[in-house]
């Protein structure tokens, strides 16, 4: 094996999803929009408690470039302090990775995944380089010789961006940019950007913005005080940013504003979580068991949800089509009701900022009765998918929820692969959301693994409480039922909460 390997990262990947690739996203949550002027002086409305409209003044070009680089923002933007995000405009990209551990095949898979991520963000992958190293170079991520080679690849292909397969220190990004002379972004910024493109709900948008800001804050420190300027004069004359008076640097103001914005977002997210908790506890009180589809991005979770519930959920051959959790009602063949939900797709090296920001959404997974862990059987490295998903499950403390591995897309996996997967996870179920193969088995499995009603009750339910009778029928198992003058005498097995409700009508 040679030390340096060129990958075919772009070749194995599927067609880019160009739609909306350059769509802009404004995340000012109160509906105020910012307005920019060509001159570089930007006025905008802020929803911060610090004050109303204000003027930021001008950044010089190098500062703007630094801001964009730090934020991983689009080329024609913007002042970070406007708290407005646009998508990365990554058009023609070259990928670069450092292979430190594992096999070459694993390193290449990681690059292939990076290629898919880049394409999901709307870019065209032109080439990819991997360098074998004990650890990334502290200055330029790859070694200086390799960086020059990368510059040649950039020149030859006409790429406008380099994407690194890791999270880089701000200094590394800057120094590598200095060598290759085009924009350099890292995997984290790329994933954050894809999430920003896919966020639809208010909660999803707020969560992504929070994650972006978390990514941003240490990077503000990274390019540091040298870019700070005294803006105390502006702050003091009232046009500034709620001013702490003279002497405050631009950097400090940025940082303070971002911190304020982050705590506002946290509050918003926790408010939305409360609303969701209420819904969930209503479901819990009705003891509706919940089954969650979790798994790697693009594994086919939405397709399975559609198949199992007939719900019209977006299915897209792109990473992270699903960002906002979808909860659907489903029923077993014996009429027991449960909820089936789709969750955000996981990915290798899911930025910790995202896991943090999406924690409240992911808590749904930790509260489930059963996790259907969907794995793409046609993927080159399903083991890596399983590992990555389990890492996130561990992170959100969902490891003690019963988990069932479902290998999906078996229509696209040859017999040899299926055999290998079978020996890898003997208890796994093999299905195809596309052809319908194995779905009856999956339904049956859900039925068997749903918590069963285990309390025996005998109760005389007055005719005025048809609601209770209906619940016993839908959530429990009726043993016998008799209509008497005083009401319905019913013997049934039900779950503990319903048993408690029925206590006042119990006859034994
Ligand atoms: N061949 C094959 N393709 C499938 C199957 N199930 C889903 N797909 C395809 O896989 C792609 C991703 O499917 P989704 O259902 O959107 O996957 P997901 O896991 O919800 O994706 P994220 O939203 O990224 O987490 C789509 O192009 C589907 O048509 C299957 O059983 N066989």
Domain range annotation of the chain: 287-449, 455-505
Arithmetic mean of pLDDT, 355-365:
73
Whose CA is closest to 10, among 91, 124, 152?
124
Per-residue pLDDT at 350: 72
* Ligand 1 pocket: which of 316, 318, 429 to mutate (most atoms within 8 A of CB): 316
With a 6 A CB cut-off, is 320 part of the ligand 1 pocket? yes
Smallest CA separation from ligand 1 atom 2, residue: 409
Q: Write down the pLDDT at residue 249.
A: 64
CA neighbor of 261 nearest in space, from 41, 55, 36, 46 = 46
Taking the centre of ligand 1 as the mean of its atom positions, its distance from the CA of residue 303, in whole angstroms, is: 6
Distance between CA atoms of residues 141 and 122, nearest Å: 25
Closest CA to 177 of 132, 223, 122: 223
Residue 432 C-alpha to ligand 1 middle, in angstroms?
10
Q: Whose CA is nearest to atom 32 of ligand 1?
A: 409
Q: Is 485 exposed, middle or buried (0-12, 13-18, 19+ CB in 10 A)?
A: exposed
Say whether pLDDT at 65 is over 80: no
Q: Is the CB of 299 under 6 A from ligand 1?
A: yes
pLDDT score at 274: 67
Answer yes or no: is the C-beta of 393 below 6 A from any ligand 1 atom. no
Query: How many whole angstroms from 445 Cα to the centroid of ligand 1?
Result: 21
Q: What is the pLDDT of residue 321?
A: 47
Task: Identify the CATH number of the domain defined by range 287-449.
Answer: 3.40.50.300
b/e per residue, 228-255, with b = 16+ CB within 10 A?
beebbebbeeebbbbbeeeebebbbbbb
The pLDDT value recorded for residue 15 is: 32
What is the per-residue DSSP string for 155-171? HHHT-SEEEESSPPPHH
Q: Angle of helix 202-223 relative to helix 187-198, nearest 10 degrees?
A: 150
The pLDDT of residue 414 is 93
Query: What was the pLDDT predicted at 396?
Result: 80
In this predicted structure, which of 134-138, 289-293, 339-343, 423-427 has the lowest mean pLDDT? 339-343
Residue nearest atom 17 of ligand 1, based on CA coordinates? 300
pLDDT of residue 27: 22
DSSP tag of 41 = -
Q: Whose CA is nearest to atom 12 of ligand 1?
A: 298
The pLDDT assigned to 62 comes to 33
User: Is the backbone peptide bond immediately before 78 cis, with ω within 30 degrees of 0?
Assistant: yes
Is the CB–ligand 1 distance for residue 302 below 6 Å? yes
Q: Is the CB of 341 under 6 A from ligand 1?
A: no
Q: Which protein residue's CA is at the shortest distance from atom 7 of ligand 1?
A: 300
CA of 433 to the centre of ligand 1 (A): 8
DSSP summary character for residue 345: P
Instruction: Decide: 28 in ligand 1 pocket, CB within 6 A.
Output: no
More confident residue, 269 or 15: 269
- Asked if residue 317 has its Cβ within 6 Å of ligand 1, the reply is yes
Kindly state the average pLDDT of the residues 26-36.
28
Please work out whether the CB of residue 150 comes within 6 Å of at least one atom of ligand 1. Answer: no
Q: What is the pLDDT of residue 101?
A: 84
| Weakest-pLDDT range from 81-90, 267-276, 494-503 | 81-90
Residue with CA closest to ligand 1 atom 3: 409
Closest ligand 1 atom number to CA of residue 378? 1
Strands of 370-376's sheet, edge to edge?
326-331, 337-342, 290-295, 370-376, 403-408, 429-430
**What's the pLDDT at 465?**
92
Mutate which of 14, 191, 303, 442 for ligand 1 pocket (most atoms within 8 A of beta carbon): 303
321 pocket-lining for ligand 1 (C-beta < 6 Å): yes
- Any atom of ligand 1 within 6 Å of the Cβ of 298: yes
Report how far ligand 1's centroid is from the alpha carbon of 12 (Å): 17
Q: What is the pLDDT of residues 423-452, one digit of tens each?
A: 999 999 999 999 999 999 999 999 888 877
Residue nearest to atom 21 of ligand 1 (CA): 298
In the reported structure, the alpha carbon of residue 118 is separated from the centroid of ligand 1 by a whole-number distance in angstroms of 18
* Long-range contacts, stretch 355-359, CB < 8 angstroms, 24+ apart: 355/392, 355/395, 355/396, 356/211, 356/214, 357/207, 357/208, 357/210, 357/211, 357/214, 357/269, 358/207, 358/211, 359/396
| Over residues 192-201, mean pLDDT | 76
DSSP H or E stretch at residue 96: strand 92-99
Q: What is the pLDDT of residues 100-126, one digit of tens each?
A: 888 777 777 788 888 888 887 778 888
- Give the up-direction half-sphere exposure of residue 249: CA atoms within 13 A in the CB hemisphere: 11
Closest atom of ligand 1 relative to the 323 alpha carbon: 23
| Ligand 1 contact, 371 CB (< 6 A) | no
For residue 283, give every residue at least 6 positions away whose Cβ sits within 8 Å of its Cβ, in sequence order, or none.
Answer: 290, 339
Nearest CA to ligand 1 atom 16: 315
């Amino acid at each position: 094996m040679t030390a340096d390997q060129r990958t075919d990262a772009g070749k194995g990947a599927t067609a880019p999803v160009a739609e909306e690739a350059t769509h802009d996203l404004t995340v000012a949550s109160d509906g105020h929009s910012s307005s920019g002027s060509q001159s570089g002086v930007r006025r905008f409305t802020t929803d911060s408690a610090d004050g109303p409209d204000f003027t930021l003044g001008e950044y010089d070009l190098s500062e703007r470039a630094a801001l964009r680089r730090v934020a991983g923002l689009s080329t024609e933007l913007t002042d970070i302090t406007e708290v407005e995000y646009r998508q990365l405009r990554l058009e023609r990209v070259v990928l670069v990775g450092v292979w430190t551990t594992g096999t070459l095949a694993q390193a290449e898979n990681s690059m292939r995944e990076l290629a898919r991520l880049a394409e999901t963000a709307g870019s065209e992958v032109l080439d990819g380089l991997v360098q074998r190293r004990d650890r990334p170079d502290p200055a330029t991520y790859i070694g200086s010789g390799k960086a020059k080679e990368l510059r040649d690849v950039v020149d030859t292909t006409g790429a406008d961006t380099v994407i690194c397969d890791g999270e880089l220190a701000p200094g590394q990004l800057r120094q590598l940019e200095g060598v290759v002379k085009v924009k350099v972004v890292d995997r984290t910024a790329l994933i954050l950007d894809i999430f920003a493109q896919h966020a639809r709900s208010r909660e999803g948008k707020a969560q992504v913005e929070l994650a972006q800001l978390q990514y941003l804050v240490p990077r503000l420190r990274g390019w540091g005080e040298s870019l700070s300027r005294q803006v105390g004069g502006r702050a003091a004359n009232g046009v500034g940013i709620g001013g702490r008076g003279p002497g405050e640097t631009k950097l400090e103001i940025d940082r303070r504003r971002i911190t304020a914005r982050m705590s506002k977002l946290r509050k918003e997210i926790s408010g939305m979580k409360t609303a969701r908790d209420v819904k969930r506890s209503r479901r819990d009180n009705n003891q509706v068991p919940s089954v969650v589809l979790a798994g790697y991005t693009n594994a086919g979770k939405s397709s399975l949800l559609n198949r199992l519930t007939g719900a019209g959920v977006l299915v897209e051959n792109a990473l992270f089509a699903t960002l906002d959790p979808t909860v659907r009602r489903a029923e077993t063949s014996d009429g027991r009701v449960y909820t089936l939900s789709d969750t955000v797709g996981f990915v290798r090296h899911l930025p910790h900022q995202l896991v943090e920001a999406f924690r409240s959404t992911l808590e749904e997974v930790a509260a489930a009765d059963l996790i259907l862990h969907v794995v793409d059987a046609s993927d080159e490295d399903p083991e890596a998918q399983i590992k990555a998903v389990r890492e996130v499950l561990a992170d959100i403390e969902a490891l003690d929820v019963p988990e069932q591995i479902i290998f999906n897309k078996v229509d696209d996996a040859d017999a040899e692969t299926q055999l290998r997967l079978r020996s890898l996870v003997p208890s796994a179920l093999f299905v195809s959301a596309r052809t319908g193969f194995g779905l009856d088995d999956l339904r049956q499995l859900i039925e068997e693994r749903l918590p069963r009603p285990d309390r025996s009750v005998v109760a005389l339910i007055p005719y005025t409480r048809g609601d209770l009778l209906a619940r016993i029928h839908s959530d429990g198992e009726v043993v016998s039922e008799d209509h008497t003058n005083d009401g319905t005498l019913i013997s049934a097995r039900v779950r503990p909460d319903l048993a408690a409700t029925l206590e006042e009508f119990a006859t034994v």
